[in-house]
Every structure is written in C-alpha cells, then in structure tokens.
Chain A
Amino acid sequence: MSFEWPWQYNFPPFFTLQPNVDTRQKQLAAWCSLALSYCRHHKLYTLDVMEAQESPVFNNKKIERKLSMEAIQVVFEELRKKGNLEWLDKNKSRCLVMWRRPEEWGKLIYQWVSKNGMVNSVFTLYELSNGDDTEGEEFHGLEEWMLLRSLQALQTEGKGEIITMDDGKGVKFF
C-alpha cells in the first residue's frame, strides 16, 4: 500500500516556516503528523538529520520545495517535546523516532501474548521481534531499543519482567 500524502504536502507554503504564530502552530502540527505517519508506514525508527533533508518527506521534488535545515530542526524539536523523538547524540544529528510510544507498543505486545494464551511464558527479545509466530503482528521487526522500552513500560505496569539470559535479554509475562 503506497503512502498517502496529506493535502499540505502539495501546498508550496507548507515548506516555509510560517511567520504568523497561529499559522505556524497549525503547520508544525501537520508536519509532526506527516513525519510520524511516514516513519510508521516505512517502519523507520531512526532518522539521520542530513539524510532527512533529502528524503521525500521533507523534500517534495514535484513542487520544488523543501524544508530548510532550520525548519527540520524546529519540527524535530516539536516532536521531541511531544515525546515522539529522542536525540541519540549531543550534536543532534541522529534521533530515534517513536511514532508509537513505548506504552502503546507494550499494550500491543501484551494483547498478543494474552490472546495466544502465553501469559507466564518466557520469550527472548528476538522471538518477540523476529520470531515466526509474531510475523504479521505490528510489532514484528521492532528494533531492539524500542522493544526494550516497551517491555520496560509493561514492567512498570506489573505485566511482565525483563530477565537477562545467557545470550541476551528476555521477558516473562504475568
């Protein structure tokens, strides 16, 4: 299924940071939404800022408009404030994109576990993210750092416990 661009994507001024404060708010909200859905569609969990500039999301070649580096930083800062983005380095050149927050992932994983009657079982992280059984689930292919955070969220809720095993980590669900 191909990605559906929102109307703003083809609206040239969308790629210019708006001077009017109220308009800018609307604009940023739309950018955040677009960035997150794009990452979600393509299952992107990290973004490199330099690469992002050339990515179709921020660069619409058809209408010859792209977001400036400054504007991209503003959008990313907005995402960070909302809890959907985390910088991996001090220089802000790479970031984690959480188009779904850890709690939300945790919920999905737990639902799958209980639906399949596997509460009280132990899973390795690998089994959860890459096992045959989970193919077709949304969290299949989830990157380890994200998976870990999601399980940590479940742990906080008392729904599981992360355990360390010989060759890696695992989790037991309650």
Chain B
Amino acid sequence: MRRGVGAGAIAKKKLAEAKYKERGNVLAEDQIVQMSKQLETFKSNLEEFASKHKQEIRKSSQFRVQFQEMCATIGVDPLASGKGFWSEMLGVGDFYYELGVQIIEVCLALKHRNGGLITLDELHQRVLKGRGKYAQDVSQDDLVRAIKKLKVMGSGFGMIPVGGSYLVQSVPAELNMDHTVVLQLAEDHLLKEGLAWLDSQAPGEAQYWLPALFSELTHRDVTPEEANQMTP
C-alpha cells in the first residue's frame, strides 16, 4: 500500500492524532493518579517521619535547621499556621511560639536598660540562661525564625542587620540605617529617645554611642541600679 497524501491519508492522520491525544490524556490522567498516589505515600511517610522525630525536633537545633531547609525545598512552611498537619503532628509551631514568648520576656526585662535594642548574641545568651537545666538547644537561627513570626503578628519586633549579625528591636521606633560599618541613625531621634549618647570628643565628627551595644556592659551582669543609670 502506498503511503501518500490524499483525503484518506489525512483522515487517517487525524484519527491517529485523535488517538494519540486520547492516549495522551489517558497518560496524563495516569500520571495524575500516579502522582496522587505518590503524594499520599509521601504524606504518610512524612507523618511517620514526623512522629518518629518529634523529640529530635524539639531537642536539636541542627536537626531543626535541616528540617526547615527540607520543608523550604518542598515549598512547605511548617510554621504557617497554628492548625494543620505540621503543628499538630510535630509541635513545631509550639516550639517557636514558646520561644517567641521567651524572647519577648527577655526584651521586656531589659528594655529599661537598653531602650529596646539588643544584640542577637546577647538575646541568645539570655534565652539559653532562662531555659535552664532542661535546656533544649536553641540556636540563633531558631531565634531569627521566632522573631520573624513575632513580626508577622505585629508586635513591634524587628531585626536590623548590623555587621554580620542582627540587632533585635522590640520597641517600635523609626531607625534610619546606613549599611556601612556601624549603625548610623537619625541624630535627633535616637538622642531624643535616650537610646544614644553623644560623644563630641571623638576624632573627626561627633559620634553616637548606644549603651545597648557597649560590649563592656553586655558581657557581664548589670545590677538593677546600674540598669537605671543607663536610659531614662
């Protein structure tokens, strides 16, 4: 039989196309079914994983980081909502929620001393201290995530990048920043708020100092009396 063009051939072609298309649809459907099945399996594997590792998630900060990264690749945010699979199965939300509360406590307790600005390092030290003997490991990554969640709730929390780390701000205040070496802040504002002290004897231009960043203070315990001496 000769392959050729002609009405018959066209019709055949069309039929073939139709059949391929149908087949394509079938294949696509197949794939979808397959995929659903896989997702189901994935979901139940994940659930199993979750319950097996729930303890570890609470205990190990390194595990938590990797877990978070894994979720991010899949496109899942385990902290997205208080309900649902992740928080119920893993209690991940609980962990960060509790951490958030601790962070707020530390910041409120020190606000009268540093005006509501604290370095991430110091926050970390104090949170660890507050957690005590049963201390579950808490990393700075954990703090950052918890603070991000606090931000979303509109609690006045924010983070300001400084050097390689962050300043955690727990009081709403307008801060202008220059990303060069140190925090450069609106002169009037910080002085007005009592967050900064003026140093007019610095070589060159006048400088501003934040008691909150004065390392001699952050690395030792300050008595309540000393604390009152710092900010109004």
Residues of A within 8 A of B (CB): 6-8, 10-16, 18-20, 22-23, 25-27, 29-30, 64-66
* Contact assessment for A8 and B191 in the assembled complex, using a CB-CB cutoff below 8 Å: no
Min Cβ gap A81→B in Å is 19
Q: State A47–B98 Cα separation when bound (angstroms).
A: 57
Contacts of B214 in A (CB 8 A): 7, 11
Which residue, A16, A19, A23, has most C-beta atoms of chain B within 10 A? Answer: A23
Given the complex, which residues of A lie within 8 Å of B198, measured CB to CB? 13, 16, 18-19
Expressed in whole angstroms, the Cα–Cα distance for A29 and B194 within the complex equals 15
CA distance A41 to B163 in the complex (A): 41
**How would you classify the secondary structure of chain B's contact residues: helix, strand, loop or mixed?**
mixed
CB–CB A12/B216 < 8 A: no
Do A7 and B217 have beta carbons less than 8 Å apart?
Answer: yes
**Which residues of B line the A interface, CB within 8 A?**
191-192, 194, 197-202, 207-209, 211, 214, 216-217, 226, 229-232
Residue from B192, B216, B217 within 8 A of A20 (CB atoms): B192
Task: Name A11's closest neighbour in chain B (CB-CB).
Answer: B214
State in angstroms the CA–CA spacing of A8 and B211 once bound together: 10
Q: How far is the CA of A29 from the CA of B230 in the complex (A)?
A: 11
Chain A residue numbers with a CB within 8 Å of B197 are 11, 13-14, 16, 18, 23, 27
The interface residues of chain A lying within 8 Å CB-to-CB of B230 are 26
Cα distance A13–B207 in the bound complex, in angstroms:
8
- Whether A20 touches B191, Cβ cut-off 8 Å, given contacts A12-B201, A13-B198, is yes
Known: A7-B226, A22-B232. A65 touches B201 (CB 8 A): yes
Q: Which has the most chain A C-beta neighbours within 10 Å: B207, B214, B216?
A: B214
